[in-house]
């Protein structure tokens, strides 16, 4: 993975040019490489040896507390000590003003070595980043600063047992706590009551405190909860109460661990059901979890989207890393396992020794598919991270363009790797044959770990609705126009390179089919029918985006080969060119199948009603 990261970062995205921007002026390619060195080393020494351990020794609840294996604490400490928690932050917050692009690349090593290890630190960073944007100065100082320092970890508490995809239906209620609640220095103080389901890292003893970011509705004077998304507000609810100096007051907040969910994968993190305000820990003699309002009342979902968008790119990056781990494991297996003989013109020679399975073209197909999925996904999430940097640090015009592209690419950054790197993990099992189906090899765990990613942070279906229902149409389709412009730029460049000219035409055709499908889907102005085919649309859109990125990266590989200027070697570069061929020959043609029901407004699924499903 290291060479691939180097290729994408420096040969393709030219990440070293970021140091021309004032925020990154102290950085050079060398400082970026040294971050990668550190992450790679710590991940292989401190994470990889424990990946199986946390899978087998899953979190337990004992006497109301979460018990984790010792390695869960050690890996969390190792991550904090790596400096990556605050890496992208300002110097005066203890950060290194690292570009998001390099931060994501560094984190990929940890996720690949053990996605369920490290204490859920990306959640902590996302939580603190939200507070840096929407919190008050005091909330930033007290909560975000301590999270970046690794003293406290963070959570996001959105889901409830009855409200997952539809967060506007949450029932957790917030009531003002006392008459002077507005003058509370940590923020307007409320009491929260309700149950939160699925909360990753909702309770543990890794850090001295936990900063919960909780969505709740402020109760109206008549006792009712406001309807819809506009009624949702955001609160900081610390597990243990703190003062304005960021010290623990010694009083426990009324947040109780009600149970643990027993997961298919990602078992290094406890996943919890939390009860807020049930009275288990009385605060000042009464029940109710103390929560400090973040931002304005009713703006909770807007604030939360800040964290969710970041989290969505990270979910994609995690899926990529697991895909990469499976690819590397199955590549090694295929290089060592001998089985069967190759067919020759005169048939097979039974006296010849068996060949390594990598010599069978069908096994190479499975390896190449994994490589194209995992590395294609890596290209996508790195590209998105670069857009995050462009949005924050480039000139206003480029920043606006980056913001539009992020809107339309974030659902893809989350969903595409979740689906296709999971498929990669399935192929990794297949390459191992029967051995892959056992717990003696790592690939079955990788598949189980990766299966989460199509579910959390907005399910696959919800991402698709967001893409076809909103993102491709917002501002009169402005973001789609920007994306089409970038794709056309690649098509132009590829058209003038003979070996890519056909690919350029294929990509241009695929993109116009995507745009045509959007128009056709919405022609009947029937949202329910149009959106009935949102998922195949997202699959086609995602594959078209990845084909674009592969072609663009292929141009960079071709240029590096021609100039002999890349340090990563011709074999590696030619691997990238094979991925371009694979993707265009085997994957891009799938898009026309996916787009057909979208563009014809097929009612096959839409029309099938409940009663007709009866088996």
Integer Cα distance of 148 and 56 in angstroms:
30
165 binds ligand FAD (CB under 6 A): yes
- Taking residues 520 to 539 in sequence order and writing x for each that binds ligand FAD by CB under 6 A, - otherwise, the string is --------------------
- For residues 241-300, which are near ligand FAD according to CB under 6 A? 263, 266, 271
Here the tokens at position 228 are 């819809």
Rounded Cα distance between 591 and 115, Å, is: 31
Residue 301 structure tokens: 């979902």
Residue from 156, 293, 388, 483 touching ligand FAD (CB under 6 A): that is 156
* Nearer of residues 68 and 199 to ligand FAD, judged by Cβ: 199
Cβ neighbours of 61 (radius 10 Å): 15
Q: How far is the CB of 182 from ligand FAD (least distance, A)?
A: 28
Q: How far is the CB of 272 from ligand FAD (least distance, A)?
A: 9
Cβ-closest position to ligand FAD: 164
The span from the CA of 100 to the CA of 314, in Å, is 11
**Taking the alpha carbons of 176, 178, 184, 186 in that order, is the dihedral positive or negative?**
negative
Q: Under 8 Å CB-to-CB from 6, ≥6 apart: which residues?
A: 33, 36, 567, 568
Based on CB atoms, which residue is closest to ligand FAD, 191 or 456? Answer: 456
Check 16, 457, 506, 587 and give the catalytic one. Answer: 457
- Least distance to ligand FAD, CB of residue 314, Å: 12
228 is an interface residue for ligand FAD by CB under 6 A? no
Smallest gap from residue 263 Cβ to ligand FAD (A): 5
d(CA 499, CA 367): 23
Binding mask of the shown chain, residues 465 to 494, with x at each position contacting ligand FAD by CB under 6 A: x-----------------------------
In the bound state with ligand FAD, the residue whose beta carbon lies nearer, of 1 and 206, is 206
Check: CB of residue 350 under 8 Å from CB of residue 332.
no
| One character per residue 447-466, x = contact with ligand FAD (rule: CB under 6 A) | -----x--xxx-x-xx--x-
Tell me if 159 contacts ligand FAD by CB under 6 A: yes
**Beta carbon nearer to ligand FAD, 131 or 427:** 131
Q: Does 234 bind ligand FAD (CB under 6 A)?
A: no
Nearer to ligand FAD, 155 or 275 (CB): 155
| Site for ligand FAD, residues 371 to 400, rule: CB under 6 A | none
- For residues 405 to 444, the per-residue mask of contacts with ligand FAD, x marking binding by CB under 6 A and - elsewhere, is ----------------------------------------
Q: Least Å distance between CB 197 and ligand FAD?
A: 7
Q: Which of 432, 408, 417, 264 is nearest to 357 (CA)?
A: 432
| Cα 314 from Cα 378, distance rounded (Å) | 11
Contacts for 513 with CB less than 8 Å, ≥ 6 apart: 540, 591, 592, 595, 599
The answer to whether the CB of 211 falls within 8 A of the CB of 236 is yes
Angle at 516 between CA 514 and CA 517, to 5 degrees: 65
Distance in Å, CB of 165 to ligand FAD, minimum:
3
- Angle subtended by helix axes 70-82 and 29-42, to nearest 10: 170
Active-site residue, 205 included: no
Q: Is 580 in contact with 368 (CB distance < 8 Å)?
A: no
Give least dist CB 454 to ligand FAD, A. Answer: 9
Which one, of 234, 273, 236, lies nearest residue 256 by Cα? Answer: 273
Query: Least distance in Å: CB of 110 to ligand FAD?
Result: 18
3-class SS of residue 463: helix
CA distances, 205 to each of 269, 406, 553 (Å): 12, 36, 44
Return d(Cα 297, Cα 230) in angstroms, integer: 9
Give the one residue of 158, 487, 555, 560 binding ligand FAD; rule: CB under 6 A: 158
Tokens of 96: 């290194």
Query: 410: which residues sit within 8 A by CB, 6+ positions away?
Result: 309, 312, 313, 384
Cβ proximity to ligand FAD, 159 vs 591, nearer residue: 159
Residues that are catalytic: 457
Chain positions contacting ligand FAD, by CB under 6 A: 155-159, 164-165, 198-200, 263, 266, 271, 452, 455-457, 459, 461-462, 465
């Amino acid at each position: 993975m290291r060479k691939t990261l180097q290729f994408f970062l420096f040969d393709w995205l030219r990440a070293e040019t970021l140091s021309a921007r004032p925020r990154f002026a102290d950085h050079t390619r060398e400082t970026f490489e040294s971050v990668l060195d550190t992450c790679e080393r710590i991940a292989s020494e401190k994470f990889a040896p424990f990946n199986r351990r946390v899978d087998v020794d899953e979190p337990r609840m004992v006497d109301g507390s979460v018990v984790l294996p010792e390695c869960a604490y050690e890996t969390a400490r190792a991550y904090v000590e790596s400096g990556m928690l605050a890496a992208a932050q300002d110097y005066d917050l203890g950060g290194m003003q690292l570009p998001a692009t390099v931060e994501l690349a560094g984190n990929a090593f940890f996720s690949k070595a053990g996605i369920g290890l490290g204490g859920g630190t990306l959640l902590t960073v996302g939580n603190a980043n939200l507070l840096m944007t929407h919190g008050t100065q005091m909330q930033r100082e007290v909560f975000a600063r301590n999270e970046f320092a690794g003293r406290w970890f963070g959570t996001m508490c959105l889901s409830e047992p009855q409200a997952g995809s539809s967060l506007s239906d949450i029932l957790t209620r917030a009531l003002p706590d006392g008459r002077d609640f507005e003058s509370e220095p940590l923020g307007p103080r409320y009491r929260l009551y309700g149950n939160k389901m699925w909360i990753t890292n909702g309770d543990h003893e890794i850090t001295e405190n936990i900063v919960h970011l909780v969505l709740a509705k402020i109760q109206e004077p008549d006792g009712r909860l406001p309807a819809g998304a506009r009624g949702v507000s955001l609160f900081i609810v610390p597990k243990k109460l703190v003062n304005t100096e960021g010290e623990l007051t010694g009083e426990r907040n009324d947040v109780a661990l009600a149970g643990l969910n027993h997961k298919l994968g990602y078992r290094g993190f406890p996943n919890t059901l939390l009860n807020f305000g049930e009275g288990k820990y009385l605060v000042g003699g009464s029940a109710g979890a103390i929560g400090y309002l973040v931002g304005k009342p009713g703006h909770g979902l807007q604030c939360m989207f800040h964290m969710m968008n970041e989290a969505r790119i990270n979910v994609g990056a995690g899926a990529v890393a697991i895909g990469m781990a499976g690819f590397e494991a199955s590549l090694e297996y295929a290089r060592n396992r001998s089985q069967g003989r190759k067919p020759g013109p005169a048939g097979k020679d039974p006296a010849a020794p068996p060949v390594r399975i990598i010599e069978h073209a069908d096994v190479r197909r499975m390896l190449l598919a994994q490589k194209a999925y995992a590395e294609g996904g890596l290209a996508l999430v790195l590209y998105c991270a670069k857009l995050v940097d462009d949005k924050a640090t480039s000139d206003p015009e480029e920043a606006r363009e980056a913001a539009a592209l992020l809107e339309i690419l974030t659902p893809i950054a989350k969903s595409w790797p979740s689906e296709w790197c999971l498929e990669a993990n399935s192929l990794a099992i297949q390459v191992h044959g029967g051995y892959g189906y056992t717990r003696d090899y790592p690939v079955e765990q990788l598949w189980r770990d990766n299966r989460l990613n199509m579910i959390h942070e907005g399910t696959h279906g919800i991402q698709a609705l967001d893409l076809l229902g909103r993102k491709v149409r917002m501002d009169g389709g402005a973001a789609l126009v920007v994306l089409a412009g970038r794709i056309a730029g690649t098509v132009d460049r590829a058209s003038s390179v003979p070996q890519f000219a056909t690919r350029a035409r294929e990509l241009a055709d695929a993109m116009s089919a995507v745009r045509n499908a959007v128009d056709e889907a919405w022609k009947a102005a029937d949202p329910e029918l149009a959106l009935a085919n949102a998922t195949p649309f997202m699959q086609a859109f995602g594959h078209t985006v990845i084909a674009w990125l592969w072609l663009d990266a292929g141009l960079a590989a071709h240029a590096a080969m021609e100039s002999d200027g890349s340090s990563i070697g011709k074999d590696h570069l030619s691997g990238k060119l094979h991925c371009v061929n694979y993707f265009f020959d085997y994957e891009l043609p799938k898009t026309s199948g996916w787009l057909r029901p979208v563009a014809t407004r097929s009612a096959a699924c839409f029309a099938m009603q409940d009663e007709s499903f009866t088996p």
